A = this chain, B = another copy of it.
Amino acid sequence: MDTRVNPTAPLDLNGWMATQLDRVECALNQWVSVDASTDLEHHAPVDLMAAMRYAVLDGGKRLRPLLVLATFEAVSSGWVNDDFPVEKWRDEIARRGGADPDVGDQTSVETALRAACAVELIHAYSLVHDDMPCMDNDVLRRGKPTVHVQFGEASALLAGDALQALAFELLTPDGARFNPVRQALLCRLLARAAGCAGMAGGQAIDLASVGLQLTEDQLREMHRLKTGALLQASVMMGAACGEATPVARAALQSFGAAIGLAFQVVDDILDVTADSCTLGKTAGKDAQHDKPTYVSLMGLSGARAYAQTLHQEALRALADTGLADTRILQGLADMVVQRSN
């Protein structure tokens, strides 16, 4: 019996988050480091690593890592508590040709932490490149000067590139205890979410849309790729670390889609209503750059109502997972909609 999650105990979401944020911060500090990996034959150039660490450490809400870890816990407690015993998964994975010496044990926990950090590295690299002069030309991020302001444009470009590669390196550690079926699946989910049919594609649409009037469908498609794909991948990577039933997986996919879009709608609202100090980045820049947003399309109250609708969709999807305890995921969904930065 797994004792980590007990559905009858009151949920301490803040306590859970503090613990997980600490784990993520420690792991990033260790893995984004010149002496990161004892099996790296050679150490990374010190200057490049300094820019990478600046981009990643000490900042950010870490929403994506939290989604990975919360989903992992939800599907893990699902197995252990009820109708989907560990043994059944061992058979299923064996049938698919993988070894799984690690279900529910320490290696799965490490794999989920690696997945959490890998997603955050992709997110961090996208911010570094997005802030560069040829893109949004922004000078403030997470309350600090942006990477190209601090280290120069060339270093920012390379640091972003190296962070993307490091994400895939984190997902594929060497060693017999790691399940290669899971490693390949995690790389697949992350690569698709990051690439031309995901985040990078969404940014390209965003670039091409400046000054245009988009329909709601076009705006949704842009954000589904630009922000939604990686948030949804965070959920699905968490599920992949524990394995989930097909029913749970389908419902989690819907959950990820709903909170991914809700996140962006709230982002658009905050760009209008919050100040730069609260946001930790330049406020009001969507209107300044004449970018189409949910607020420009629906008005402020329309956008707020839409965020509530998506929130309800997310909660319904969680109920459809059939998982024993999704209260942490529910708490994260609440946070996405109610956040102030």
A residues at B contact (CB < 8 Å): 40-45, 47-49, 52, 96-99, 101, 125-126, 129, 132, 134-135, 152-155, 157-158, 160-162, 164-169, 171-174, 176, 178-181, 183-185, 187-188, 190-192, 194-198, 200-205, 207-208, 221, 224-225
Q: Are A187 and B172 in contact (CB under 8 A)?
A: yes
Docked CA distance A312–B154 (Å): 37
What would be 21 A-B contacts, judged by CB atoms less than 8 Å apart? A42-B197, A45-B202, A48-B196, A49-B196, A96-B99, A98-B99, A98-B180, A132-B157, A134-B154, A158-B204, A158-B207, A161-B161, A164-B165, A165-B195, A169-B192, A171-B187, A172-B185, A180-B181, A180-B183, A183-B184, A184-B187
Q: How far is the CA of A45 from the CA of B198 in the complex (A)?
A: 10
Contact of A203 among B152, B158, B181, B190 (CB under 8 A): B158
Contact B44 A201 (CB under 8 A): yes
Q: How far is the CA of A172 from the CA of B188 in the complex (A)?
A: 5
A44 proximity list for chain B (CB < 8 A) = 195-197, 201
Q: Are A183 and B187 in contact (CB under 8 A)?
A: yes
| Nearest B residue (CB) for A207 | B154
| A337 smallest CB distance to B (angstroms) | 25
Interchain CA distance A155-B97 in the complex, whole Å = 41
Q: Cβ of A40 and Cβ of B197 under 8 Å apart?
A: yes
Contact of A41 with B168 in the complex, beta carbons under 8 Å: no
Name the one of B98, B99, B169, B225 contacting A195, with C-beta atoms under 8 angstroms. B169
Most buried by B among A161, A167, A196, A200: A196
**Could you tell me if B188 and A169 are in contact, using CB atoms closer than 8 angstroms?**
yes
Please name the 5 residue pairs, one residue from A and one from B, whose CB atoms are nearest each other, closest first: A97-B99, A165-B195, A44-B196, A134-B153, A48-B204
Known: A161-B200, A168-B187, A191-B168. A45 touches B155 (CB 8 A): no
CB contacts (< 8 Å) of A184 on chain B: these are 172, 178, 180, 183-184, 187
For the complex, give the distance between the alpha carbons of A165 and B161 in Å: 10
CB distance from A276 to the nearest CB of B (A): 23
- Which B residues are in CB contact (< 8 Å) with A157? 129, 132, 134-135, 157
A100 → chain B closest CB, angstroms: 8
Q: Are A166 and B180 in contact (CB under 8 A)?
A: no
| Cβ contact of A188, chosen from B41, B96, B174, cutoff 8 A | B174
Measured between beta carbons, the chain B residues less than 8 angstroms from A191 are: 165-169, 172
- B-chain residues with CB within 8 Å of residue A198 when the two chains form the complex: 165
Interface hub of A129, A160, A187, A207 (most chain B Cβ within 10 A): A187
Q: Which of A153, A166, A179, A200 has the most CB of B within 10 A?
A: A200
- Of all chain B residues, the one with the shortest Cβ separation from A172 is B188
